[in-house]
Structure 1
Amino acid sequence: MTDRLSAQIAFLKQADRLKTVERANVLLDQSRPENSAEHSWHLALWALVMAPLAAPDVSIDRVIRMLLLHDLVEIIVGDHPIHLDTDWQAVAEAEERAASQLFGLLPPDQGQEFQALWQEFEGDQTADARFAKILDRCQPLFQVLCADQPQAAHIEIAQDNMDGGRVAYLAQAFPLAFDHAKALLTGATPDTNAFTTRLPFLTEADKLKTVLRASRLMTSDRFENSAEHSWHIMLYAWVLSEHAETDISVARVLRMLLLHDIVEIDAGDHPIHGHVDHAAQAAKEEAAAQRLFDLLPAPQNAAFSDLWHEFEAAESADAVFAKAVDRFQTPIANLETGGGSWVDYDVTYAQIEIRVRPAIETGAPALWRWLQPQLAAYFQTQVAMDA
C-alpha cells in the first residue's frame, strides 16, 4: 500500500506543473495569461453550473472528471492555440505519448482508468465527451466576450472561430451559448434564458484566479492561486479517494472542492499558520457565499450554498475526507520546496501536529501515516541546522 500511495503522490506532484503552462487566453481583467490548471478548474465549474442544460444522457460528474484531466498532457507538449497554423495530427500523436507517460506514473489500474477517460474526451464521440468539448469551446469564447476591455486581436479570433472555426458548430450543438456570443459581438440585446442567467456567476468566478495563497508552486517560486489550488485538490481527492477512512461519494467530494474556496473572491485567503480573527473571517466568508451563490438561479443557488456549508461544517463523511485532502496538499508542496510557507510563517512541528494532523488523520489516516515520517525528518533537520 505504501508503494501504491507513493506512486499516486508522484503523479500528483507531476501534475503541479500544469500551473506553469500558459494559454493564449488571458484573465477577464486582462492582467496575465490564463494557465491550464486554472482553466481546467474553471471548466469543471462550467460543467457543474451548466448541468441543467446538458442532455439527459450526460453524466455531469464524468464530465467534471474529464475536464480535470483533459489538459494534463500540456505539461509535456504545451498549449497549442487554435488560431495558429498547426500540424494537429502531430500534436495528437505527441499528446497520446504524453498521456501514456503521465498516467503511467499511477498504479496500473488507475492509470488505465484515467487514460481511458482522457481518450474518451479526445475522441468526442460519447454524450459526456461531447458536452465536455462544448464547454471547452465556450469558456475561452466568453473569457474574451465578457471582459470589460477585451483585446482587439482576441475579439477578431473569437469572430473568426464563430464564422467557420471550431466554435461554429455551437450554433447547432449549443445554440443558447452561440446566440449569446453573437449578441455580445454585435451589440444586440441578449436574451434572458437558462444560459445567460448562469453566465454572471461563471464570469465572477474568474476572479478566484487572482487570489494568492501562502503556498508556492513546486516548480516555481511564485505563489499558488486559489483557482489552480482548487483544481489540484480535486485531483488529489480523486486519486486518493481509496484512502478515505469511511465510505464516501467521490463525486460529491469533487463538487465540494470545486466550490470550497469560491468565497475567497470576496474574503481573501487566510493561511492556516497566519494570525486570523476566525469569527470575522467566518462572517466575511458567509457574506461572500450569499453574494456569489445568489448570482445563480434557484434552486441551483441553494444547492451550491448547501454544499459549501457542508464542507465548512466538516461533519459528513464526504466533508471530512475533503478537509483531510485540503490539509494534505500543502505539506506535500512545502516538502518539495524546502519548507515553503513553513519558513515564511516560522512554523514548528508542534504546530503541524495541532493544526494539520487532526484533519488528515480523521479523514484519511493512511495519508497521515505516509506523511508524518517525512514531516518529522524535515523539522528535525531544521532544528539541527538552527542549533
Structure 2
Amino acid sequence: MTERLSAQIAFLKEADKLKRVNRANLLLDLSRPENAAEHCWHLALYALVFAPLANPDVSIARVIRMLLLHDLVEIEVGDHPIHEDHDWAAIAAAEERAAERLFGMLPADQVPQFLDLWRAFEAEACPDARFAKQLDRCQPIFQVLCAQSPVPAHVQIVRDNLSTGRAAPMREDFPQAYHHALSLLGEATQRDTQEVARRLAFLCEADRLKSVYRASRLLDDSRRENSAEHSWHAMLYAWVLADHAAPGVQIDRVLSMLMLHDIVEIDAGDAPIHGQSDPTLMAAKEDAAAGRLFGLLPPDQTREFNALWREFEAADTSDAVFAKAIDRLHPPIANLQNGGGSWVEYDVTMEQLDQRVGVPVQKGAPDVWAWLRPQVRSALSR
C-alpha cells in the first residue's frame, strides 16, 4: 500500500507543474494569461453546465475526466496557440511521449485507464471525445468574446478559427455554441441560442474564481494557489486516490462536488483553514453566494448544483466525506514540498493539524492519513 500511494502522490505532485503553463488566452478581466490547470477546471465545469445540450450517447462523467487530464502533457511540451504555425506531427509525437512518461508514474493498473482516456480524447473517435473537443474549442472563443473589452487581435483569431480553423466543425457538432459565438461577433443568425447564453452567464462569472487566491502555495513556492486550479487539482486527487475511498463512494459525484465546492469564494472569499475567520459569518456569506451564483443557471441546474454544494458542506454522505478528505489532503502535501507554506505563516501545531486535517482525512481516507501523518509530524518537528 505504501509503494502504491507513494507512486500516486508522486504523479499528483508532478501535475502541480501544469499551474505554471500559461496559455495564449487571457482571463475575462484581461488581468493575466490563463494557465492550463485552471483552463482544465473551467472546461470540466463547461461539461457539467452544457450537459443538457450534449447528444444522448455522450457520457458527461467520462467527458469531465477527459478534460481534467487532456492538457497534462503541456507540462513537458508547453501550450501551442492554434493561430501560430507549428509542426503538428512533431508536437503530437512529443505529447505522446509526455503522456507515456506522466501517466507511467502511476501504479501499473492505473496507467491504461489514464493513458487510454487521454488517447481517446486526442483521437476524437467516440461521442465523448467529440463533445469534449468541442468544449475545448468553444471555451477559448467565449473567453475572448465575453471579456470586458475584447482584444481586437484576439477577436480576429476567433473569426478565423470559426470560419476555417479548428472551431469550424462546431457548426455541425455544437451548433448552439457556434451560432451564439456568431451572435457575439455581431453576425446575423437565425438560431435561438438562449440555452447557451443563460449557461454562459454562469460560466463567465465562474472565471472570477481564477482570481481568488488561497493561503496555500504551489509546490515550487513561486506564488499562492488560486481556487480554480485548486479545484482542478482536488478533482485529480480524488480520481487518482479513488481506491482509498470507502466502498460505495461514487467518484464521479465526488468530482462534481469538488468542481463546485469553492465557487462561492467568488463572493465570500477564501477562509484559510488555519486562519481566524468567523465560521457563522462565513457560512452565511457562502450561502448567499451559492444562491446568487447557482441562480444564474436554468432552474433545474440551480437546484442540482445547490444540492451538490450543500451536500459537500454538510459532509454527511459517504461521497461528501471522501470529497472533504481530499479537499483537506491537498494543501499538506504541498506544504511538505515547499518548506512549510501556510504552516509557517500561521504557526501551525501538530495538534491543530490532527484536528483540522487529520479528522476529516481519517474519516474519508484513513489509509492516506496513516501514510501522511508521520511525514507531517516529522516536518513540523523540524
TM score, norm. by length of structure 2: 0.98
Number of the residue aligned with 2:211: 210
Number of the residue aligned with 1:286: 287
Counterpart amino acid of residue 330 in structure 2: Q
1:111-190 maps to which residues of 2 (within 5 A)?
111-186=111-186
Q: CA deviation at 1:165?
A: 0.6
Quote the Cα distance in structure 2 between the aligned partners of 1:169 and 1:363.
Answer: 43
Number of the residue aligned with 1:343: 344
Quote the Cα distance in structure 1 between the aligned partners of 2:59 and 2:97.
Answer: 28
Instruction: Name the SS of the counterpart of 1:221 in structure 2.
Output: coil
Quote the Cα distance in structure 2 between the aligned partners of 1:344 and 1:156.
Answer: 46
1:311-322 maps to which residues of 2 (within 5 A)?
311-322=312-323
1:1-387 maps to which residues of 2 (within 5 A)?
1-186=1-186, 191-381=192-382
Quote the Cα distance in structure 1 between the aligned partners of 2:45 and 2:281.
Answer: 28
Quote the Cα distance in structure 1 between the aligned partners of 2:262 and 2:201.
Answer: 18
Quote the Cα distance in structure 1 between the aligned partners of 2:168 and 2:47.
Answer: 20
Q: CA deviation at 1:247?
A: 2.2
Quote the Cα distance in structure 2 between the aligned partners of 1:45 and 1:116.
Answer: 22
Consecutive unaligned residues in structure 2, runs of 5 or more: none
Q: Deviations over 1:148-193 (max 9, x none)?
A: 2011111111111112111111111111111111111126599452
8 Å contact kept, 2:180–2:193: no
8 Å contact kept, 2:25–2:34: yes
Instruction: Name the SS of the counterpart of 1:196 in structure 2.
Output: helix
Consecutive unaligned residues in structure 1, runs of 5 or more: 382-387
Counterpart amino acid of residue 41 in structure 2: W
Quote the Cα distance in structure 1 between the aligned partners of 2:169 and 2:243.
Answer: 40
Quote the Cα distance in structure 2 between the aligned partners of 1:144 and 1:373.
Answer: 47
Counterpart amino acid of residue 56 in structure 2: P
8 Å contact kept, 2:21–2:74: yes
Q: CA deviation at 1:350?
A: 1.3
8 Å contact kept, 1:213–1:269: yes
Number of the residue aligned with 1:385: none
Quote the Cα distance in structure 2 between the aligned partners of 1:367 and 1:25.
Answer: 37
Quote the Cα distance in structure 2 between the aligned partners of 1:293 and 1:210.
Answer: 19
Instruction: Name the SS of the counterpart of 1:150 in structure 2.
Output: coil
Q: Deviations over 1:44-74 (max 9, x none)?
A: 0000000000011000000000000100000
Q: Percent identity?
A: 64
Quote the Cα distance in structure 2 between the aligned partners of 1:220 and 1:379.
Answer: 17
Q: Deviations over 1:133-158 (max 9, x none)?
A: 00000100000001120111111111
8 Å contact kept, 2:242–2:251: yes
Q: CA deviation at 1:16?
A: 0.2
Q: Deviations over 1:99-145 (max 9, x none)?
A: 00000000011011100000000000100000000000010000000
Counterpart amino acid of residue 222 in structure 1: R
8 Å contact kept, 2:212–2:266: yes
What is the aligned-residue RMSD (CA, Å)?
Answer: 1.0
8 Å contact kept, 2:177–2:193: no
Quote the Cα distance in structure 2 between the aligned partners of 1:353 and 1:173.
Answer: 51
Instruction: Report the number of matched residues.
Output: 381
